[in-house]
Amino acid sequence: MAKIDLKTLKIEAEKDIEKANNLNDLDTVFKKYLGKKGEITLILRSLKDLSEKERKKTGKQANELKKFLEEKIKQRKPGFVKFSTDKEFDVSVPVQKLKVGHLHPLTLVRREIEGIFEAMGFSVISGPEIENEWYNFDALNIPANHPARDIWDTFYLKNKLLLRTHTSPVQIRFMEKNNPPFRIVVPGRIFRHEATDASHEINFYQVEGLMVGKDISAANFKAIIQEFLSRFFNKKIKIRLRPSFFPFVEPGFEVDASCTVCQGKGCSVCSKTGWLELMGAGMVHPNVLKAGGINPNNWQGFAFGVGMDRLAMMKYKIDDIRLFYNGDLRFLNQF
Ligand SMILES: [Zn+2]
Task: Write out the chain in H/E/C secondary structure.
Answer: CCCCCHHHHHHHHHHHHHHCCCHHHHHHHHHHHHCCCCHHHHHHHHHHHCCHHHHHHHHHHHHHHHHHHHHHHHHHCHHHHCCCCCCCCCCCCCCCCCCCCCCCHHHHHHHHHHHHHHHCCCEECCCCCEEEHHHHCHHHCCCCCCHHHHCCCCCECCCCEEECCCCHHHHHHHHHHCCCCEEEEEEEEEECCCCCECCECCEEEEEEEEEEECCCCHHHHHHHHHHHHHHHHCCCCCEEEEEECCCCEEEEEEEEEECCCCCCCCCCCCCCCCEEEEEEEEEECHHHHHHCCCCCCCCEEEEEEEEHHHHHHHHHCCCCHHHHCCCCHHHHCCC
Distance 233 CA to ligand 1 centre (A): 14
The reported pLDDT for the residue numbered 15 is: 92
Catalytic residue, chosen from 206, 255, 257, 291, is 206
- Of 166, 183, 285, 310, the catalytic one is 166
Is 193 a catalytic site residue? no
Tell how far the Cα of 316 is from the centroid of ligand 1, in angstroms. 15
Predicted pLDDT at 1? 45
- The rounded distance, in Å, linking the Cα atoms of 200 and 35 is 70
Active site annotation includes 166: yes
Bridge partners of residue 253, in order along the sequence: 243, 281
Q: Is 249 a catalytic residue?
A: yes
pLDDT tens for the chain, residues 1 to 335:
446 688 888 999 999 998 888 888 889 999 999 999 999 999 888 888 888 888 888 889 999 999 999 999 888 887 776 554 555 667 777 888 788 888 999 999 999 999 999 999 999 999 999 999 999 999 999 988 888 787 788 899 988 899 999 999 999 999 999 999 999 999 999 999 888 888 888 999 999 999 999 999 999 999 999 999 999 999 999 999 999 999 999 999 999 999 888 888 888 888 899 999 999 999 999 999 999 999 999 999 999 999 999 999 999 988 889 999 988 999 998 98
Dist. CA 313 → ligand 1 center (Å): 15
Whether 184 and 279 have beta carbons less than 8 Å apart is answered as: no
Q: Cα(238) to centroid of ligand 1, in Å?
A: 13
* Other Cβ atoms within 10 Å of 161 Cβ, number: 15
CB neighbourhood size of 334 (10 A): 9
Distance between Cα 266 and ligand 1 center (Å):
4
Q: What's the CA-to-centroid distance between 264 and ligand 1, angstroms?
A: 6
Ligand 1 center–CA 76 separation, angstroms = 71
Q: Which residue is catalytic, options 13, 109, 139, 249?
A: 249
The catalytically annotated residue of 303, 306, 310, 312 is: 303
Which position among 164, 192, 285, 310 bears the catalytic label? 192
Q: What is the pLDDT of residue 207?
A: 97
